[in-house]
């Protein structure tokens, strides 16, 4: 694939500025290694592999199947009781990139830098972006409105140039990138790279339930709704009869406990646990309790492709787009 050099590709020594985004229950060894072997960087949430032995094995398998850089996503808030181990084994495996989400990335930044890894942090606003820059992060992933998973409230068309203007470190755009034109648009806005999630759910390598892949291919952007029920933090999911039934807000009493200073630290991990359990069930087998996470980019996805085909669509489509610009 023809290289697309940016500050982000230089930071990691990769050919094209595309992250195969970490996706809970979706990212796997096949997706990660294929994205990396195509010149981008594949990443996965450490918690996709449970128990911890499965995680260690996944890291060994990935290292055996690609010599290219790979990345791990570590959830750095209290709901993740495994974060110290997640970090330790990734460091042992010489992981090249850490993506932190939902908390304070300090430990990952300090320890990751000791082995020469780069650390980039999910952010949804300038405040958080400046904080992680001050902590020593090597870049931020600007998660805009409409992204799959936890999504921010700001449109990418403003978020990217806003962060770019204020930060000294690379800004990676996340949310809605599915093809060449969407990738070119993010780079035109100043992004140093893109992080692509939803597009890879409809990949041959994803091992999720067929109904989930089918929903990605057939849904429109209007089918995506923002819900706080999964983790307490707004996340995008596909609207299904189950989502209609349970609604998109936390039940009133749980919401009140979550906002209570004393109860918060006990309630938040529980909300996470139940939300993750619901996602887990829906991703892996047919169930009427359908909670499928995805972003508005579903509207631009019409087929299930291999990861290599998706990478070609992004890279070749990027060049076609910039050549055809008026
Ligand atoms: C099914 C799904 C699961 C996700 N899980 C995680 C996760 O565990 N950790 C994380 O940092 N981001 C997670 N995300 C967010 C992605 O890393 C990325 O920011 C997002 O998918 C980009 O937007 P897009 O889906 O429109 O491409 C998830 C996204 C999806 C669609």
The CATH number linked to 173 is 3.20.20.70
Number of structural domains the chain divides into:
2
Distance 201 CA to ligand 1 centre (A): 10
Q: Are residues 262 and 135 in the same domain?
A: no
Q: Are residues 190 and 220 in the same domain?
A: no
Nearest residue to 202 (alpha-carbon basis) of 106, 304, 289, 116: 304
Q: Are residues 15 and 150 in the same domain?
A: yes
Let me know if residue 2 belongs to a domain.
no
Q: Are residues 188 and 131 in the same domain?
A: yes
Q: Which atom of ligand 1 is nearest to the CA of 292?
A: 1
89-113 in b/e burial notation, b at 16+ Cβ within 10 A? Answer: bbbebebbbbbbbbbebeebbebbe
Distance 21 CA to ligand 1 centre (A): 6
Specify whether the CB–CB gap between 271 and 250 falls below 8 A. yes
Residue/partner pairs of 247-255 with CB below 8 Å, 24 or more apart = 255/228
Let me know if residue 188 belongs to a domain.
yes
Q: Are residues 31 and 132 in the same domain?
A: yes
Predicted confidence pLDDT, tens digits, the chain (326 residues): 999 999 999 999 999 999 999 999 999 999 999 999 999 999 999 999 999 999 999 999 999 999 999 999 998 877 788 889 999 999 999 999 999 987 889 999 999 999 999 999 999 999 999 999 999 999 999 999 999 999 999 999 999 999 999 999 999 999 999 999 999 999 999 999 999 999 999 999 999 999 999 999 999 999 999 988 777 778 999 998 888 887 776 666 666 666 777 666 666 666 666 666 666 666 666 666 678 999 999 999 999 999 999 999 999 999 999 999 99
Let me know if residue 26 belongs to a domain.
yes
- Give yes or no for residue 267 CB within 6 A of ligand 1: no
Q: Are residues 196 and 216 in the same domain?
A: no
Q: Are residues 119 and 198 in the same domain?
A: yes
Q: Are residues 162 and 190 in the same domain?
A: yes
Query: Which residue intervals of 224-263 are DSSP H helices?
Result: 241-246, 252-258
Q: Are residues 201 and 236 in the same domain?
A: no
Q: Are residues 100 and 174 in the same domain?
A: yes
Q: Are residues 189 and 232 in the same domain?
A: no
Let me know if residue 1 belongs to a domain.
no
Q: Which of 71, 121, 149, 314 to mutate to test the pocket of ligand 1 (most atoms within 8 A of CB)?
A: 149
Q: Are residues 115 and 217 in the same domain?
A: no
Let me know if residue 96 belongs to a domain.
yes
Identify the H or E element spanning 143.
strand 139-143
CA dihedral 39, 40, 45, 48 (to 10 degrees): -40
Range of 123's domain? 7-207+301-324
Task: Report d(CA 20, CA 32) in Å as an integer.
Answer: 7
């Amino acid at each position: 694939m023809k290289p697309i050099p940016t500050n982000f590709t230089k930071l990691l020594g990769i050919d094209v500025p595309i992250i195969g985004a970490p996706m809970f229950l979706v990212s796997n060894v096949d997706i990660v290694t294929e994205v990396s072997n195509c010149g981008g960087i594949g990443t996965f949430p450490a918690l996709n592999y449970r128990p911890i032995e499965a995680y260690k094995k996944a890291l060994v398998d990935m290292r055996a199947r690609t010599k290219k850089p790979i990345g791990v996503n570590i959830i750095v808030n209290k709901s993740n009781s495994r974060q110290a181990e997640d970090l330790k084994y990734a460091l042992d495996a010489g992981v090249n990139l850490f993506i932190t989400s939902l908390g304070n990335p300090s430990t990952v930044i300090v320890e990751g830098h000791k082995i020469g890894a780069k650390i980039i942090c999910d952010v949804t606003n300038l405040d958080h972006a400046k904080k992680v820059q001050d902590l020593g992060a090597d870049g931020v992933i600007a998660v805009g409105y409409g992204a799959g998973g936890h999504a921010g409230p700001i449109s990418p068309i403003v978020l990217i140039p806003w962060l770019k203007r204020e930060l000294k470190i690379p800004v990676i755009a996340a949310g809605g990138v599915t093809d060449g034109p969407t990738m070119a648009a993010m780079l035109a806005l100043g992004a140093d790279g893109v992080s692509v999630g939803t597009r890879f759910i409809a990949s041959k390598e994803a091992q999720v339930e067929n109904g989930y892949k089918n929903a990605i291919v057939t849904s429109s952007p209007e089918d995506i709704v923002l819900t706080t029920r999964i983790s307490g933090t707004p996340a995008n999911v596909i609207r299904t009869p189950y989502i209609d039934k349970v609604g998109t807000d936390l039940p009133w009493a749980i919401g009140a406990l979550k906002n209570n200073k004393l109860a918060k630290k006990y309630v938040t991990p529980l909300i996470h646990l139940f939300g993750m359990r619901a996602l887990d069930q829906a991703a892996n087998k047919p169930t009427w309790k359908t909670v499928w996470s995805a972003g508005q980019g579903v509207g631009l996805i019409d087929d299930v492709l291999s990861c290599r085909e998706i990478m070609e669509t992004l890279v070749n489509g990027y060049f076609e787009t910039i050549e055809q610009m008026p």
